[in-house]
Structure 1
Amino acid sequence: MANLAYLLEAAAEECPGRTALACGETRMTYTELDNAANQVANLLVAKGVRQGDKVALSCPNVPNFPVVYFGILKAGAVVVPLNILLRPREVAYHLENSDAVAYFAHEGSVGLPIGEAAAEGFTAVGTCRTLISIPADSKKLPWHDQAVVFDTVEVDDNDTAVILYTSGTTGRPKGAELQHRNMRDNALSAKDLFDTDKARPDTYLCVLPLFHSFGQTVIQNSAVAFCGTIVMLPRFEPRAALDLMIDEKVTFFAGVPTMFWGLLGALEVDTDVTSIAHHLRVAAAGGSALPTEVHRNFQERFGVTILEGYGLSETSPVASFAPWGQEVRVGSVGVPIPGVEMKLIAADWSRVREDLLEDGKTTIGEIAIKGHNVMKGYHDDPEATAQVLREGWFRSGDLARKDADGWYYIVDRSKDMIIRGGYNVYPRELEEVLISHPAISLVAVVGVPHESHGEEIKAVVVKARDHDVTEADLVDWGKEQFAAYKYPRIVEFRDALPLTATGKILKREI
């Protein structure tokens, strides 16, 4: 087995009539999902897409995401999932940087005009040949007239299956090239991590965005690998999520900490918590640190212990997880998953001493990861790749300690990264655009604590002379430049910013 799409084909053969996808009134069996993916593959071949070509995809959590995703893979092409909140300028960058030759884009809605941003970004790029609109009306899909049979293209284990974009410390988004074996083995690790089994398939509530590695692997691909049912909620709303957990008898829920916080906050007197608790088998958290209070409250209300894990887009993403069935250690992201190694390193890649301190944990070091989950490298960026990959080890930029039993504890994220609602935001990218505003002389973007989002994005600005721009003006301008999760909600004016002797901004003093 090489092509990641074989996971779907195996499921269609072993459990053809089982419900694969559920979204509102829509239900698709594994046979129907596989047939639809075959139609997409046939459409791509008709459009001239060949093995190894890159095909971008902008689509919310609706059935057409997995349909197109697996269709692209079946054609032997590379999936480039894009954040549905990207602005036209950002869409254009990703299409050009990834060398995408075709682009599927959902038309979106009045409140989320995905199609408009996609069309504008596509038009600005001369290298992407084909834009295929995905209408909201399932009766008008562009691949419906294609054959439902397709011979999946044979690929090598080490061929790129997916390019996931992640912002780098330079501010320029980089595309992590993940091989078929990376994505497949990470999805199959669910058997060891959660005791997942085809003999008793899980029902997954899909609220994590599928364009992100967490939702893509832990929900979509793992569910398909084990004949599970994916219950889709296009936009996370706590009350709606609780209702679906009851109605669909959800057994597997994965989310970022703010989602667990939201579920607890949406509980009402008449919520049938007993029904949820009876069916819910696994609750998995990742993306950022889970507050101890949320851990405790979820256990008390639902009777299920949240398992925390750790990973990055560059690691497909899962690198470590709290072992299912064992007592959790609150604050820990668990131990390396089977087939993966982790260690703590210093700036020069040397391993840090792991002598235990008085608190029973080691000194702090940067997490390095090696195993079946580590990416091939950053697309068309050998310099950035060389900075993070050495002899099979990937350096994460995240600092941690570990205890005597090898459980890891994240103590800090890479120096400047902001995590807002589970999304990674790198200040440098924002600063480079903000400084282009004529009223901004100098700017530093930092994260400040926020009750529900974890962190909020703040821009500290030194105004250029003779400009009367207001804080609100810059917030509004930022909305037009960045995806909704990125733009600074808070702007503060200062006369000067603290600088080092070499002219670098001292963010720790802001």
Structure 2
Amino acid sequence: MLNLSITLEDSVREQPDRTALVFGDLRLSYSLVNTVANQVANLLVSRGVGKGDKVALACPNLPYFPFVYYGILKAGATVVPLNVLLQPREIAYHLADCEAKALFCFEGTPELPLGERGRAGFDQAETAEHFFVLPAAAFATESEHGETLWAALDGMSGEFSTVQTAPDDTAVILYTSGTTGQPKGAELSHLNMLLNAMVSDEMFPGGEGGDVFLAALPLFHSFGQTVVMNLGFRRRATVVLIPRFDPGPALELMRTENVTFFAGVPTMYWAMLAKIHADGDEVPTSLRVACAGGASSPVEVLRDFEATFGIGILEGYGLSETSPVASFNQLGRPTKPGTIGTPLWGVEMRLIDSEWKTVEGQGPGEIAIRGHNVMKGYYNRPEATAEVMNDGWFRTGDIATRDEDGYYSIIDRAKDMIIRGGFNVYPRELEEVLITHPEVSLAAVVGISHDSHGEEVKAYIIRTPGASVTEEELIGWCRENMAAYKYPRIIEFRDALPMTATGKILKRELR
């Protein structure tokens, strides 16, 4: 028996009255979070959802996220977190691909009409049976989009005996596109997720009197889920939720809540430093640990942060397929800015060539990873799994070097992936959507460097003969058909694109 929900349950046993979540004026104890999670588990069981079933969750960083996440786990089901920026077509694809039986969906706001999109996506997905609205107004029992969580939980017991799951049962399916086409679901077991949170927890020593984590990273993303929520709950920390990162409010919360632990992507650090330097915002003094991942931090940002905050940023590396943390600049060892550190406890890394042969010395080579953190495989995709797995090793597609002390440094990303503001954007997926536009003949999407987002998405388009679509019109169409973090902000029309003899577009000539 091993269930990832133990990160919550063990803390409830030890410190039921400790504050688990802070959201605005709300302060919720561990016992309250656990009680609502038990009600969610009872609700699922009452609707015929149980062991091995998939349940999707589309929700920003709100108390609903842990309520539902741990409730799904307690019921023995698998959580499928969805990016809150997905459009209806994309939501329908995810629900169908993982065969989800239920979707818990935040009602949304005028700026983020998630309830509307979620309902439209749910209605297109044949396997999905239950739609629960997480209302925007506290404890609301009605919504135009369907049954609300509070109405559904009415009369549900706050006691629940967690369903026995095996270490290798799937706890979470995280969607990632890898480097090709449609998103694939990486299946992560209870053991994968739990050990990743535990080993990460031991890397960052706790403070006396407890820790306060700022949850600015989206919890639907593997980094926020493991390093902020699961690690924070295991540590009995207080997790302060921000639904959408904004540097001013984030700095204010750090000061007012005495935040001790912050995990973010490099653009978040960049934005907070810019705010401090431009507006003279006061520097929080409580921060003890700052860690970064998702993309490599510019060395200038690392230097500036250490000079401003008095502590260094610890950089690490991982992927959805590795639960996610694989390597880190670990406390107790020298930190090497610009590197992704050394492998975690229980994890091996090596550099390989295209034939899986080990590359000796400093490389470069492609990073391969083996250990307790590596996924079971891509859900229902044996061929895609076989492409990246070999004898327990997972090939990442990321090219790196390794120094004499065993520290790795990423030099090039998997093929052509774009990282915009910490989100992975996969050009081929966008190209496939672009080509469905009646006036687009061919599309090539690349990342170009951008001061604040790291990279911006640019599309080169060859129009169909006689077409008259403009840049503005096509960008508007993309905005309607792709998630907000994905769609190209820049479009350039061309008569031809550079190609190889076999007809492959030479993207390196377009960047």
TM-score by structure 2 length? 0.96
Q: Is the 8 A contact 1:369 1:394 kept in 2?
A: yes
Q: State whether residues 92 and 124 of structure 2, in contact with CA within 8 Å, keep that contact through their aligned partners in structure 1.
A: yes
Alpha-carbon distance between aligned partners in 1 of 2:279 and 2:101, rounded to the nearest angstrom: 52
Residue 185 of structure 2 aligns with which residue? 175
Q: Is the 8 A contact 2:435 2:441 kept in 1?
A: yes
Q: Deviations over 1:302-355 (max 9, x none)?
A: 00100000000000000000011433111101000001000000000000121x
Residue from 359, 364, 372 that aligns with 1:352: 359
Query: Please, which runs of 5 or more residues in structure 1 have no aligned partner?
Result: 355-361
Distance 1:40 1:201 in 2: 28
Does the CA-based 8 Å contact 1:204-1:251 persist in structure 2? yes
Instruction: Provide the secondary structure at the position in 1 that maps to 2:340.
Output: coil
Alignment of 1:248 onto 2:248: no
- 8 Å CA contact 1:57–1:103 kept in 2: the answer is yes
Paired residues for 1:43-442 under 5 Å: 43-140=43-140, 141=150, 142-196=152-206, 200-267=209-276, 271-273=281-283, 276-277=284-285, 279-354=286-361, 362-442=362-442
Equivalent pairs, count: 499
Q: CA deviation at 1:295?
A: 0.3
User: In the TM superposition, what is the alpha-carbon distance from 1:137 to its structure 2 partner?
Assistant: 2.4
CA-CA distance at 1:144 after TM superposition: 4.3
Answer whether contact 2:364 2:401 (CA < 8 A) is retained.
yes
Instruction: Provide the alpha-carbon RMSD of the alignment.
Output: 1.1
1:436–1:341 distance in 2 versus 1, CA, 3 Å = same
Deviations 1:166-188 (CA, angstroms, capped at 9, x unpaired):
01322110000000000000001
Work out the CA distance in 1 between the residues paired with 2:483 and 2:282.
36
Structure 2 CA distance for aligned equivalents of residues 366 and 200 of structure 1: 43
Instruction: Tell me which amino acid in the other structure corresponds to 1:418.
Output: I
TM-superposition CA deviations, 1:35-78 (whole Å, max 9, x none): 01001001111111011100000001000000000000000000
Partner SS for 1:138: coil
Offset of 1:418 from its aligned partner? 0.5
CA deviation vs aligned residue, 1:132-171 (integer Å, no higher than 9, x gap): 1111223232324311000000000000000000013221
- What letter corresponds to residue 401 of structure 1 in structure 2? T
Contact 1:190 1:196 in 2 (8 A): no
* Distance in structure 1 (CA, Å) of the matches to 2:172 and 2:484: 24
Over the matched positions of the two proteins, sequence identity in percent amounts to: 57
**In 2, Cα distance between equivalents of 1:55 and 1:300:** 45
The aligned residue for residue 357 of structure 1 is none
The amino acid across from 2:499 in the alignment is L
Query: Secondary structure at 1:467's aligned position in 2?
Result: coil
Contact 2:200 2:325 in 1 (8 A): no
Contact 1:368/1:393 (CA < 8 Å) preserved in 2? Answer: yes
Counterpart Cα distance in 2 of 1:347 and 1:39: 49
Counterpart CA distance in 2 for 1:214 and 1:191 is 13
Q: Secondary structure at the match of 2:139?
A: helix
CA deviation profile, 1:260-298 (whole Å, cap 9, x unmatched): 00000111665332xx23x11100000001001100000
Deviation at 1:191, TM superposition (A): 3.4
SS in 2 for 1:115: helix
> Using the alignment, how far apart are the partners of 2:206 and 2:380 within structure 1?
37
Large movers: runs of 4+ above 2 Å: 268-272
The CA distance in 2 between the partners of 1:378 and 1:196, in whole Å, is: 35
Give the Cα–Cα distance (whole angstroms) in 2 for the partners of residues 103 and 39 of structure 1: 16
Instruction: Report the residue type matching 1:174 in the other structure.
Output: K
Which amino acid is the alignment partner of residue 94 of structure 2?
H
Q: Does the 8 A contact of 2:195 with 2:373 survive in 1?
A: yes
CA distance in 2, matches of 1:289, 1:53: 36
The answer (yes or no) to whether the contact 1:443–1:461 under 8 Å persists in 2 is yes
Q: For 1:376 and 1:201, how far apart are their aligned partners in 2?
A: 34
Tell me the SS of whatever aligns to 1:220: helix
The yes-or-no answer on 1:465 pairing with 2:465 is yes
CA–CA distance in structure 2, aligned partners of residues 196 and 483 of structure 1: 37
Residue by residue over 1:445-479, the C-alpha shift from the partner in whole angstroms, topping out at 9 and shown as x without a partner, is: 00001000000000000111111110111100000
TM-score w.r.t. length of structure 1? 0.96
Q: Is the 8 A contact 2:366 2:398 kept in 1?
A: yes
User: Which residue identity is paired with 2:347?
Assistant: V
**1:192–1:338 CA contact under 8 A, matched in 2:** no
State the one-letter code of the partner of 1:390.
N
Partner of 1:359 in structure 2?
none
Verify the 8 A CA contact 1:310 1:321 in the aligned structure 2.
Answer: yes
Query: Per-residue CA shift, 1:380-399, capped at 9, x if unaligned?
Result: 00000001111110000001
Letter in 2 for 1:225: R
Contact kept, 8 Å, 1:447 with 1:456, in 2: the verdict is yes
* Counterpart Cα distance in 2 of 1:408 and 1:201: 32
